[in-house]
Structure 1
Amino acid sequence: MSAKHPPLSLAPVLPMDVSASVAAAFDGARLTQARRLAGWSKKELATKIDVTPAAVGQYEAGAIRPRPEQVRRLAEVLGMPTAFFTAGRPRAALDTAAVHFRSLRSAPARERERSLSFTELLWELTHAVETYIRLPRVDLPGWDGGETIPDLPTEPQQAARALRSRWDLGDGPIPHLVRLLESRGIVVAVLPYSSPDSRKLDGFSTARLPRPVIVLNDGRDDVYRHRFSCAHELGHLLLHGEAHPGDIQHERQADAFAAEFLTPTAKLASSLPTRVDFTLLGRLQQIWGVSLDSLLVRCRELGLHSEAVSGRAWRRLKSLRAEGLLPATPVRAFPGEVPVLLQRALEMAQRKGITTGRLARELHWPEGMIRALTDAQDSRPALRLARDPD
């Protein structure tokens, strides 16, 4: 494995002894999941365990099972307990066609596969937590436990206004977007790893799991881009029942939804300047929680700026950034934009005596992986989570 793709687990895990019965229960799909999560090809994994790439392919396909000593070696190099590779546990299964990826060209295939494995494991953790803690019910128009059937207007701006009405948001700013979606039962997460390739994935989402999932990438660590990406993925979940990764029309529709959802035309239009005024735009950025880029696009869309004026504005914006006068605003400076749903649920589970160690044993994960998936370090505002009756 190259240095830029460390295993997701935070520390080496010494595998348990593997009996012949454990080796006999080997699940090739789990090996595929762990290998993709590490960001490795079959050839790279084969080199590390001294077998051929064809042998790794056969292990994953279930054509042959690895011997106990090979299972121990797989667990060691992939940073997983040996029991992780056994069958019999609930497992999500995603492929590229089930996920709204922005582009199939911007990030390498292995990075998309890595993201799929991350999302599968995120659902498994959610499923395990829900055994003990009741999470907010999914309140997403058209949601039907594993898919979304469009239940709002198909025109993006109308859909955004309809959702605001259904969620009783009015037409003002949304101060805590991520927290809002979590309170509606949507699982939101941030990729816990970063590499030049993973940073090409701004965000992605899927409705093919028992809960809708949005995964964001804070590699650029800009809260305004983070919020827009989140609203963009919400648009996909609502407008596009079938994922068509990289579809230009779908991407434009999701952008249009996000812009109207975050900055409703009826409320924003009268406050936008008819000439380029970055001081005023900066104040609007703080009020609405959107980027200067988004506000300039809105000015152009609403006919407030001509094409020539818009072009000069973009050049000026680029110049200001090049001079370091518009530094990015960190996501963690805005607690309401940091996902905490699973972290809060884990805290509630711990008060009932369900430790992360116990969950890790049930999932057959290294305990550090649970911490990696739920690390938010935030305490406000509180989510309304309901305890299951004992």
Structure 2
Amino acid sequence: MTDERSLTLAKVVQLDVAAAVADAFDGARLTQARRLRGWTKKELAGRIDVTPAAVGQYEAGAIRPRPEQVRRIAEIFDCPASFFAAGRPRAALDTGGVHFRSLRSAPARERERALAFTERLWELAHELEAYVRLPPVNLPGWDGGEIAHNALDEPATAAHALRAQWGLGEGPVPHMVRLLESRGIIVTILPYVNADSRKLDGFSTSRLPRPVVILNEERNDVYRHRFSAAHELGHLILHGDAHPGDIHHERQADTFAAEFLTPSHSIAASLPSRVDFTALSDLQQSWGVSLDSLLVRCRELGLHSDATSSRAWRRLKTLRSQGLLPSTPVEGFPGEIPVMLQQAYRIAQRKGATEKQLADALHWNAEDVQALLHLGDPRPALHLV
């Protein structure tokens, strides 16, 4: 009898919370939750026994779900009903605010899922900042969610100007990801992998109060990983208005990344004028860029003719097919593994914060906090420098 009374009381409490949430239902929260699961409105409608049109109206704020529907929605998404209440800081992104490289190959629902993930990542960072002062954003023209673009429109010029602003000198960049984090940019690795997410090399946005760069763990080669980070940095510097999939923007970001990682006036004298993979491999390790990138640089700087370049690419493809040039996993390079949010949480813990407290403030489950912070990751982490 006691158990039955307890269950009845728990259900009454749930319905009371659901009723309060129904009065302050935030349709954008439902959109975010649905997109994070990769569901269409029709798929969600089937799970909560309403029409797709009703889901659309909930999300648009045209109508509000009844308390029993709120409770059902919370069960479907395995989150507190209070998650769907208005009144908390919320990131809001659309496709036009994010730089996606693989616009044509990645399905719309995968891009929407990436948007929802980025929104929640920023919300977690925002909550951590109640406990810890994260590094200030250090980007030319940055003004809290917007970058004023003026003199830094030309990719190579922008790369040199940023190197000068950040005091990097003319040599290799030791740790690309740690560098971005130390300049106040949130960096993380996409925690989920499926056939569609593999089509997202990386993406970034400067439309939030703190810039965000997301890298794809499926591309598990440290040299490609570093170039992707530099490519997204190029978007943040060069392109205030995102035009996802724009070929011109993508080429500009590639040019920025190449010049930022391997300044032409610094590396030109070291590049071989003939195809020498031993020399190129040495440069790969010292500059932290791929053989592919070095071959492109040889051609760009006039060291290789079209014919020489074609032979080099064929030879590189053959060597890889024979397993003689394996990829280099990111895990062996702690400076390329994001740690800023993890370290912020460790400091917050010393101030008494717990995963549950963060989860309660965000109205998430503790498991969601763990996933975004990559807690339990056994890989070593370096302090920001």
TM class, shorter-chain normalised?
over 0.9
Paired residues of 1:107 and 1:201 also in contact (CA < 8 A) = yes
Aligned to 1:101: 100
Paired residues of 1:225 and 1:290 also in contact (CA < 8 A) = yes
- CA deviations on 1:335-369 (whole Å, 9 max, x unpaired) are 00111111000000001001111010000011111
Alignment of 1:1-390 (within 5 A): 17-19=14-16, 20-150=19-149, 152-375=151-374, 377-383=378-384
Q: Which amino acid aligns with 2:14?
A: D
Whole-Å Cα distance in 1 between the matches of residues 15 and 258 of structure 2?
Answer: 53
- Alpha carbon RMSD of aligned pairs, Å? 1.5
Paired residues of 1:187 and 1:213 also in contact (CA < 8 A) = yes
Whole-Å Cα distance in 2 between the matches of residues 334 and 79 of structure 1?
Answer: 36
Where does the alignment leave 5 or more consecutive residues of structure 1 unmatched?
1-13, 385-390
Q: Which amino acid aligns with 1:240?
A: H
- CA deviations on 1:105-140 (whole Å, 9 max, x unpaired) are 121111110011011111111111111110011111
Task: State the 1:154 CA deviation.
Answer: 2.0
Whole-Å Cα distance in 2 between the matches of residues 186 and 200 of structure 1?
Answer: 23
Q: Which amino acid aligns with 2:176?
A: L
Where does the alignment leave 5 or more consecutive residues of structure 2 unmatched?
1-10
Whole-Å Cα distance in 2 between the matches of residues 329 and 373 of structure 1?
Answer: 25
Q: Which amino acid aligns with 1:17?
A: Q
Paired residues of 1:152 and 1:162 also in contact (CA < 8 A) = no
Whole-Å Cα distance in 1 between the matches of residues 242 and 378 of structure 2?
Answer: 33
Greater shift in the superposed pair: 48-57 or 193-202: 48-57
Paired residues of 1:340 and 1:378 also in contact (CA < 8 A) = no
Paired residues of 1:36 and 1:113 also in contact (CA < 8 A) = yes
Task: State the 1:378 CA deviation.
Answer: 4.2
Whole-Å Cα distance in 1 between the matches of residues 69 and 28 of structure 2?
Answer: 16
TM score, norm. by length of structure 1: 0.92
Is the helix fraction higher in 1 or 2? 2
Whole-Å Cα distance in 2 between the matches of residues 359 and 224 of structure 1?
Answer: 35
Secondary structure at the aligned position of 2:136 is classed as coil
Task: State the 1:379 CA deviation.
Answer: 4.0
Q: Could you say which structure has the larger radius of gyration?
A: 2
TM score, norm. by length of structure 2: 0.93
Greater shift in the superposed pair: 325-334 or 87-96: 325-334
Secondary structure at the aligned position of 1:158 is classed as helix
Number of residue pairs matched? 370
Task: State the 1:144 CA deviation.
Answer: 0.6
